[in-house]
Structure formats: C-alpha cells, structure tokens
Amino acid sequence: MKAAYREFIRLIEAGRYYEAHEVLEELWYPRRFEKEAEVLLIKGYINASTAFELARRGRLEAAHRTWGVYLKYRPLSKEMDPKEAAACREVEDLLQRTHERLLGDFPCSRTD
C-alpha cells in the first residue's frame, strides 16, 4: 500500500478529513489531466474526504453531492493491479463506514 494511502486512512480515522484530502491531492494534482484509472480513483477518494469535511461543517446537501462524485469513480478500483486493489478495498471500506456514520440518513449506492 502506498504510504499516502496509509496516511489518508490514518487521517480519515482521526476525523481530519481536510488533511486527508491534502495528502492525496499531492499525488493527484501533478497528474490531474491523465485519464488513468489510478488517477481518477485518487480524485474520487479526494472527493469522499471532501464530502466528510462538508458534513462535519453541517453542509449536508453539498456533502451528498460530493459523495456522488466519489461513487462515480469507485468502480475503477476493479481495474487496479492486485496489490493496489487490496489497498483500495481497505480505503473504500473505511470510506463507506465513515459515510454511514456521518451521512447515514442520506442515500448511498453500494454496488459490489
């Protein structure tokens, strides 16, 4: 698992959603114009952490919309190589649990 993913997980678990966003933004930003699955998936994870920060600030509608962007990219984890796929599952399981805790009353599509 990439060190950035480990740090992202640690920050999400600590409720430091904005900082988690920043960790992955360092990976994503230089590659933001690429259309590779990894780059788009990182963009999705950034949006998930942004949704949590918005929810923490009481902006639930914006959080819900931003979570939807994450959901758009989540299926790309199936295109990752097996080593990366395991890390993606760990991140996505945590994101799902955090979503349920913060935005449980809002709809969430979970397709596995």
Q: How many structural domains compose the chain?
A: 1
In a domain, 111, yes or no: no
Residue 101: closest CA among 55, 58, 54, 69: 55
CATH of the domain at 77: 1.10.3450
Q: Residue 59's Cα: distance from chain center in Å?
A: 18
pLDDT of residue 106: 57
Residue 28 domain boundaries = 3-103
Q: Which residue's entry shows tokens 């950034």? A: 46
In a domain, 108, yes or no: no
Q: What is the pLDDT of residues 49-104, one digit of tens each?
A: 999 999 999 999 999 999 999 999 999 999 988 888 888 999 999 999 999 999 88
pTM: 0.90
